[in-house]
Amino acid sequence: MKYVYPAIFTPEDGNILVSVPDLPGLHTYGASLAEAIYMAQDAIEMWLWDAENKKEVIPKASDQADIAKRCKHFGQCVSLVVADTDEYRRQTETRAVKKTLSIPGWLNDKAEKANAPFSQILQQGLKEYLHVG
């Protein structure tokens, strides 16, 4: 799933602190604005991925202008951060899952004689079928 949440970026002691008011407990930081945005995206994706896995209710994103009203410190700003839990899942879930399947005997014989890497071929075929990278 793709999500967009407003995040508050606050410069402090040479870092940029980040909080996402709609996602309880979500705070991170970066040494630069670019790193803070990257860390915000990663933290949001992890938070939402965990909530999806636990089948918890995903909080709705607040309006960016409503969040901006909370900004009181000098230099503080609000920006929208895009999060993609499907992409996060692809990058982090690398565990292998065993599948039992059936193929015609003649095809199995040919593949075994050719030392075909069954698992790799199945993965490549599924990626092509599902149009994923």
The C-alpha atoms of residue 12 and residue 88 are separated, in whole angstroms, by 29
- Same domain membership, residue 65 and residue 103: no
- Same domain membership, residue 87 and residue 23: yes
The answer on pLDDT for 133 being more than 90 is no
The answer on pLDDT for 95 being more than 80 is no
For residue range 8-19, list pLDDT tens digits in order. 999 999 999 999
The answer on pLDDT for 128 being more than 80 is yes
- Same domain membership, residue 80 and residue 32: yes
- Same domain membership, residue 49 and residue 15: yes
For 18, what's the count of Cα atoms within 13 Å in the CB-facing half-sphere?
26
The answer on pLDDT for 55 being more than 80 is yes
Q: How confident is the model at residue 82 (pLDDT cuts 50, 70, 90)?
A: very high
Tally of structural domains, the chain = 2
Tell me which residue range forms the domain holding 8: 2-92
Tell me, what's the pLDDT at 80? 96
The answer on pLDDT for 116 being more than 80 is yes
Under 8 Å CB-to-CB from 4, ≥6 apart: which residues? 61, 80, 81, 82, 83
User: What is residue 112's DSSP assignment?
Assistant: H
Under 8 Å CB-to-CB from 116, ≥6 apart: which residues? none
